[in-house]
Structure 1
Amino acid sequence: MTIVVTGATGHLGRLTVDSLLARGVAASDIRAAGRSADRLAPLAALGVQTAVIDFEQPETLAAAFSGADAVLLVSGSDVGKRVAQHRNAIEAAEAAGVSRLVYTSAPKATDTDLVLAPEHKATEEILAASSLAVTILRNNWYTENYVGLIDQAEATGELVGSAGTGRVASASRKDYAEAAAVVLIESGHEGAVYELSGDTAWTFDELAATIGALVGREVVYRSVTAEEHASILSGAGLDEGTVGFVVALDGNIRDGALADATSTLSGLIGRPTTPLAQGLAEAREAQAAA
């Protein structure tokens, strides 16, 4: 059996490879695919097969997917280009005769106003029209996405945003990676669409308190309007596109787009999801060690 993991030089892909190894998959049965041979080298040193790929160069995908039984298509990072890139990967998987494809999507991708969802929706539609046996993992937000706020909060004593009282059912990347490993290894997940999230959804007041406990000082959440938020971000030097994205995402959170906490993820991985405080602490330690 050969399992291909795309995005293996990124956070989620690498953690998925680690989880496959931890669950007893032989290194020689894993093919880690990514853009950089140098970044793949540590996995090759473990005995993992490696392949340098580019989603915009289909010939690299054909070679990487050859003989594969299952492929994890970790959604690309080139926003605006992902639909075409994902189509190339899906068509390459079909041509290679891949038995199963697992795709990392967004929460409620086909029925949400989430700013991140349109490219995922389009990809899911391509998958539905393909001949592949597919499993969709609709990952909620990653706890690690908030690590960048810790230093700012420690310095200023506050988090600023326009998410209001909206909640986020985040989990750690390692939780989502373990779920990906499970569905790659096990049969019976074909055709499934899993809405994955942390076990609990937190507010930004709770995020601020959690960060405060981590850094050893009081941190509060200052809730502002979307217009005020945009002005603050622009004043901090962020470009217009980034400002628009951040404000739109906070609006999505305010409207409940990331609030649904289910037990599906913990059920797949056989343990509770990583609590917010633990996830932030571990991510900060990993960042410091990098």
Structure 2
Amino acid sequence: MTILVTAAGHLGRLAVKSLIARGVAPADIRIGARTLSKVDDLVALGVNAVELDYDRPETVTAAVAGADKVLLVSASEPGKRVPQHQAVIDAAKAAGVSQLVYTSAPHADSSTLILAPEHKATEELIVASGVPATVLRNNWYHENYTGQVAGAAESGVLIGSAGTGRVASASRADYAEGAAAVLTTEGHIGQTYELAGDTAWDYAGLAAAISEITGRPVEYQNLDTAAHVAALTGFGLDEGTAGFVSALDANIAEGALAEASNVLSGLIGRPTTPLVDGLRADLA
């Protein structure tokens, strides 16, 4: 059996390591990458590296050919995901893969989350293709907030516009283990799993986690959307990025990421990683 992981970013790399930890022989794993030299460490473990660029369908077709199972790690650039994912789905159908596992977004078919429409469209393409599939609707990653730790610790203030909205995040390693579990055990074809951390936290809790990690007092300052965008542009973000970040906070305020569950912990056989531990590990 050959398992292809389509991308060599953080989640894909962790998924490869989780597959190996679950007993999959490295020689039975392919890792797709645009730049093969970036996965030399995985090749050293015995994993097969193949060129795979979502924007070059011919590389996708070649990478998928002969694979039995495919973990389609969602592409990272908003606005381009649907055609990029379509290339993988088409290649999986042509190759006759036995299972396509896709990393989607929470409640992609009904959520107001700004990222949801592309994931919803991808899920629909998978259904239309007829490829046997499992959809993993991953909630937020703890690591999405690592970049805010140093600045918040230095200033003593964590800014945002999420109000008291909660986030049921887990670590990338948790989600990677969940994907590996679905790829290596039976009974998951046709299933859609809403995956999240065991508990949800708000930005005041994030500020407390930063305080615990850094040893410096940090408080959360909630701003309205306009003030949040102004602050972010003042820090050097362009208007588009600042607007995107504030829109995500608005989604959080609406509750789009608040749903904690034990589905992920059930798949991985342990509690999900607490926020403070996930941030600390990523900083290390």
**Which residue is equivalent to 1:99?**
98
What is the alpha-carbon distance in structure 2 between the residues aligned to residue 152 and residue 182 of structure 1?
36
Q: How far 1:283 sits from its partner (Å)?
A: 0.6
What is the alpha-carbon distance in structure 1 between the residues aligned to residue 61 and residue 224 of structure 2?
49
What is the alpha-carbon distance in structure 2 between the residues aligned to residue 33 and residue 125 of structure 1?
24
What is the alpha-carbon distance in structure 2 between the residues aligned to residue 208 and residue 119 of structure 1?
31
Q: How far 1:187 sits from its partner (Å)?
A: 1.7
**Which residue is equivalent to 2:35?**
36
1:201 is the counterpart of 2:196: no
Could you list the per-position Cα deviations for residues 98-142 of structure 1 after superposition, in whole angstroms to 9, with x for gaps in the alignment?
111000000000101101111111101100101201100000000
Q: How far 1:64 sits from its partner (Å)?
A: 1.1
What is the alpha-carbon distance in structure 2 between the residues aligned to residue 56 and residue 227 of structure 1?
35
Secondary structure at the aligned position of 1:195 is classed as strand
Q: How far 1:201 sits from its partner (Å)?
A: 0.2
What is the alpha-carbon distance in structure 1 between the residues aligned to residue 139 and residue 184 of structure 2?
22
Could you list the per-position Cα deviations for residues 76-103 of structure 1 after superposition, in whole angstroms to 9, with x for gaps in the alignment?
1122111001001100111111111000
**Which residue is equivalent to 1:25?**
24
**Which residue is equivalent to 2:56?**
57
Q: How far 1:166 sits from its partner (Å)?
A: 0.4
1:224 is the counterpart of 2:223: yes
Q: How far 1:45 sits from its partner (Å)?
A: 1.4
Q: What is the 5 A alignment of 1:164-243?
A: 164-243=163-242
1:68 is the counterpart of 2:67: yes
Secondary structure at the aligned position of 2:249 is classed as helix
Q: What is the TM-score of this pair, normalised by structure 2? A: 0.98
**Which residue is equivalent to 1:3?**
3
What is the alpha-carbon distance in structure 2 between the residues aligned to residue 151 and residue 57 of structure 1?
38
What is the alpha-carbon distance in structure 2 between the residues aligned to residue 219 and residue 228 of structure 1?
19
**Which residue is equivalent to 1:266?**
265
Q: CA RMSD in A?
A: 0.8
Range with greater deviation from structure 2 (65-74 or 171-180)? 65-74
Secondary structure at the aligned position of 1:147 is classed as helix
What is the alpha-carbon distance in structure 1 between the residues aligned to residue 270 and residue 45 of structure 2?
27
**Which residue is equivalent to 1:90?**
89
What is the alpha-carbon distance in structure 1 between the residues aligned to residue 91 and residue 125 of structure 2?
13
What is the alpha-carbon distance in structure 1 between the residues aligned to residue 278 and residue 234 of structure 2?
30
What is the alpha-carbon distance in structure 1 between the residues aligned to residue 111 and residue 278 of structure 2?
26
What is the alpha-carbon distance in structure 1 between the residues aligned to residue 129 and residue 211 of structure 2?
48
What is the alpha-carbon distance in structure 1 between the residues aligned to residue 42 and residue 233 of structure 2?
41
What is the alpha-carbon distance in structure 1 between the residues aligned to residue 269 and residue 153 of structure 2?
35
How many residues align structurally?
A: 284
AA aligned opposite 2:282: A
Stretches of structure 1 that go unaligned for 5 or more consecutive residues are 286-290
Percent sequence identity is 59
Could you list the per-position Cα deviations for residues 64-85 of structure 1 after superposition, in whole angstroms to 9, with x for gaps in the alignment?
1121110000001122111001
What is the alpha-carbon distance in structure 2 between the residues aligned to residue 58 and residue 73 of structure 1?
14
What is the alpha-carbon distance in structure 1 between the residues aligned to residue 282 and residue 83 of structure 2?
32
Q: How far 1:37 sits from its partner (Å)?
A: 0.9
Range with greater deviation from structure 2 (275-284 or 235-244)? 235-244
AA aligned opposite 1:44: V
Range with greater deviation from structure 2 (49-58 or 181-190)? 49-58
AA aligned opposite 1:279: G
**Which residue is equivalent to 2:124?**
125
Secondary structure at the aligned position of 2:49 is classed as strand
What is the alpha-carbon distance in structure 2 between the residues aligned to residue 52 and residue 230 of structure 1?
38
Range with greater deviation from structure 2 (236-245 or 198-207)? 236-245
